[in-house]
Structure 1
Amino acid sequence: MTKHGYRERSGSVSPEETPFWQFSGALYARPGVAEACLELQDRHGLDVNLLLFCAWAGVQGRRFDGGDIGLLRSASRPWHDNVVGPLRAARRWLKQQTAVPDDLGEAFREEVKSLELQAEMLEQLVLYQEIEIVAGEGAPEEAAANLHLYLTRFKPRPTDDDFADLAAILHGACPQVAPVHAIRILEDLG
């Protein structure tokens, strides 16, 4: 690790063994989190994996600055744009198709979905290896600041819907924070 907390690339890491992958799977499964992430993705083109990484880093006590977000986007964007995004688009397109018998089409779509999940895992590994996050005790405000910073790089004036979606992610990452309090924390940031 360098003095700024950026990870020097080395050796092989199993993606499913990283604490980030464990955290993101649990967070994404919490009520309202997947829907909130997908809304932000569809509304503003945000990367769900980077949203989850922002939450994880904040929970660990790491507050990002604009340079960190830029670095993370630069590291993960080629993988996201050339692998994750096209697999997602293919899976969504396949869902609409009727030319193939339902059972065959569904089986193929499930295979594409599995590949998409593997691609997301690898994108998360890229993020995990880019910046060292030392395990620690962060405050909900740090996770909120990271999520808010990422959103406001693309949407300078978040809407009520944006705050509600970020609050759902923040509440999922920090269940001790009531949803109404999560919105207040986020609104106080901007």
Structure 2
Amino acid sequence: MKLENDLWHYALRLYSQPGVESACLELQKTGLSINRLLFCLWLGQDAGRQLDLTVLQGATDWQSEITHPLRALRYKVRTYKQQDETYQACYSAMRKAELACEQLELALMYDVAEQMLKGEAGSSLVLENLAGYLNGCTLNAAPSVTAAFEPLLQAALPEMPEDWQQILSLPVE
């Protein structure tokens, strides 16, 4: 498994774009996985592959067994840190460990990407992949969710289709 790969570098580049981090964190609050969202974008735009959630079991197990519990612990430490700065070093170490877990999860997804069917890379495939991921999620259909997708898609897609909200089955504002 290669930790330094095209998906990891894509995720870092996209996440650093204006508005993307806050949009991703907003979507994460709704229960969506930032890594799955970034994977769908990369898979359709750069890799030209159709999302197949069935081959992501290793990454899904890692996320639920390791990353999510670590994030929950970090959130607990954050409450301590807010009351006493002595906890800052522990909190920072946990953030670093969580990022390492996320990088490993992306590496697991990268490793299985070639098992997915080839498609024509571009906006249509990106939206198809996102729709496939969202179809399996319980998503609050609030306008704030739609608004959070916009900066993410604008950063990822050179040409964003006007009907992207309908394709993703999101409420149109």
Counterpart in 2 of 1:5?
Answer: none
Tell me the distance in 1 between the aligned counterparts of 2:27 and 2:39. Answer: 15
Q: Structure 1 residues 138 and 108, CA, compared in 2 at 3 Å: closer, same or farther? A: same
Q: Which secondary structure does the structure 2 equivalent of 1:31 belong to?
A: coil
Q: Structure 1 residues 157 and 94, CA, compared in 2 at 3 Å: closer, same or farther? A: closer
Task: Give the 4+ runs in structure 1 shifted more than 4 A.
Answer: 98-101, 133-137
Counterpart in 2 of 1:47?
Answer: 33
Are the equivalent residues in 2 in contact too, given 1:145–1:186 (CA < 8 A)? no
Q: CA RMSD in A?
A: 2.6
- Normalised by the size of structure 2, how large is the TM-score? 0.83
In the TM superposition, what whole-angstrom CA distance separates every residue of 1:62-87 from its partner, at most 9, and x where no partner exists?
Answer: 232xxx12332x22121101111111
Percent identity (aligned)? 30
Counterpart in 1 of 2:77?
Answer: 94
Are the equivalent residues in 2 in contact too, given 1:37–1:169 (CA < 8 A)? yes
Q: What letter corresponds to residue 53 of structure 2 in structure 1?
A: I
Report the Cα offset of residue 183 of structure 1. Answer: 5.9
Q: Structure 1 residues 57 and 114, CA, compared in 2 at 3 Å: closer, same or farther? A: same
Structure 1 segment 1-190 matched on structure 2, within 5 A: 13-16=1-4, 18-43=5-30, 45-60=31-46, 61-64=48-51, 68-72=52-56, 74-97=57-80, 101-102=84-85, 104-132=86-114, 138-155=121-138, 158-174=141-157, 176-177=158-159, 181=160, 184-190=163-169
Are the equivalent residues in 1 in contact too, given 2:128–2:167 (CA < 8 A)? no
Unaligned 5+ segments in structure 1 are 1-12
Count of matched residue positions in the alignment of Structure 1 and Structure 2: 167
Tell me the distance in 2 between the aligned counterparts of 1:107 and 1:157. Answer: 35
Are the equivalent residues in 1 in contact too, given 2:81–2:91 (CA < 8 A)? no
Q: What letter corresponds to residue 8 of structure 2 in structure 1?
A: W
- Normalised by the size of structure 1, how large is the TM-score? 0.76
